[in-house]
Amino acid sequence: MIEIRNLHKSFGSLEVLKGIDMTLERGKVLAIIGPSGSGKTTLLRCFNLLEVPDRGILTVGKQTLDFEAGKKVREKEAVALRKQTGMVFQSFNLFPHQTAIENIMEAQVTVQKKSKSDSRQRAAELLAKVGLADKAEFYPHQLSGGQQQRIAIARAMAVDPEVLLFDEPTSALDPQLVGEVLKVIKQLAADGMTMIIVTHEMKFAADVADRVILMDGGVIIEEGPPENVLENPQSARAIQFLNRLASYEI
């Protein structure tokens, strides 16, 4: 289970998250949508402490962290949390000096201290799962954006995380490459992977998510199953945001 309570985060004097509460059951998929600058990325990065919240409580699996202003998170705690989370970045961030399979082996070898051969075997399984078994020995720069992002998903899966975090996984891709990445994510959802996905793809959100959060100005303004949030929003701001998106999509 993933849970946050009263999460606050500021950059200098700019308060970006103004008290966020949410809970996500195991095996469920949560989509986070909202206008640019509303704090979606910041919220997502709080789940694996790439941003350290100023205040609030974060629970991932069995680990709970309590944040207070001025209290530093110890590296040990951060590492323990990150071993339970995987992240997929907008710009892939594969390790360019390693082949596809080495990228996927890295966490197993260096973090989990698994043997090279066990790691390689698991990495090969994950490569097959994202449909790239034949690209094991390719370097990232030899692969298309869509292929790189699928490798990045496999890399994030390699630590067997409690939850996978996605930050607009397809927004850096050419339109014709978006489908192959979304397909992999849908397959993971079908397999019962717990996921939190920041996305601008409303149709995808409606398809894959069990729940949707709509953020604006650092707070959650709408929350619920996709059919409620996307098709029958309550607040004026939510209606305005969704209408604007709809007019772009046509």
Partner 1 sequence: MTDRQIEILIDSLLPLLKAGVVFTIPLALVSFALGLIVAVATALARLSTIRVLRLVARFYVWIIRGTPLLVQLFIIFYGLPYAGITLDPFIASVIGFTLSVGAYGSEIVRAAILSIHKGQWEAAYSIGMTRWQALRRVILPQAARVAIPPLGSSFISLVKDTSLAATILYMEMFRVAQQISAAKYEPLLIYSAAGAIYLLFCSVLSWLQNITEKRLARYSAS
Ligand X SMILES: Nc1ncnc2c1ncn2[C@@H]1O[C@H](COP(=O)(O)OP(=O)(O)OP(=O)(O)O)[C@@H](O)[C@H]1O
Which residues form the interface with partner 1 (CB under 8 A)?
A: 48, 50, 75, 78-79, 82-83, 85-87, 89, 91, 93-97, 106-107, 110-112, 139-141, 155-156, 158-159
CB of 201 to ligand X, least distance (A): 13
CB of 197 to Mg ion, least distance (A): 12
**Tokens 């909202």 sit on residue:** 34
Which CB sits closer to partner 1, 60 or 214?
60
CB of 168 to ligand X, least distance (A): 7
Strand 195-198 versus strand 163-167 pairing type: parallel
Strand 219-224 versus strand 211-216 pairing type: antiparallel
Sorted by sequence, the CB contacts under 8 Å of residue 170 that are 6+ apart come out as 149, 177, 178, 181, 182, 199, 201
Biggest distance spanned by C-alpha atoms of the chain: 56
Residues that bind Mg ion (CB under 5 A): 41
Count of beta carbons in the 10 Å neighbourhood of residue 234: 11
Among 36, 117, 176, 247, binds ligand X (CB under 6 A): 36
| Binding status of residue 16 toward ligand X by CB under 6 A | yes
CB of 35 to ligand X, least distance (A): 7
Residue 94: contacted member of ligand X, partner 1, Mg ion, none (CB under 5 to 8 Å, by partner type): partner 1
Q: How far is CA 238 from CA 30, 59, 127, 200, 223, in A?
A: 17, 28, 39, 14, 10
- Residue nearest to ligand X according to CB distances in the complex: 41
| Binding status of residue 39 toward ligand X by CB under 6 A | yes
| Binding status of residue 40 toward ligand X by CB under 6 A | yes
Residue 79: contacted member of partner 1, ligand X, Mg ion, none (CB under 5 to 8 Å, by partner type): partner 1
CB of 204 to ligand X, least distance (A): 15
Residue 38: contacted member of ligand X, partner 1, Mg ion, none (CB under 5 to 8 Å, by partner type): ligand X
CB of 162 to partner 1, least distance (A): 12
Angle at 203 between CA 51 and CA 46, to 5 degrees: 10
Report the side by side order of strands in the sheet with 163-167: 85-88, 163-167, 195-198, 29-33, 211-216, 219-224
Among 30, 31, 41, 85, binds ligand X (CB under 6 A): 41
Contacts to ligand X by CB under 6 A: 11, 14, 16, 34, 36-42
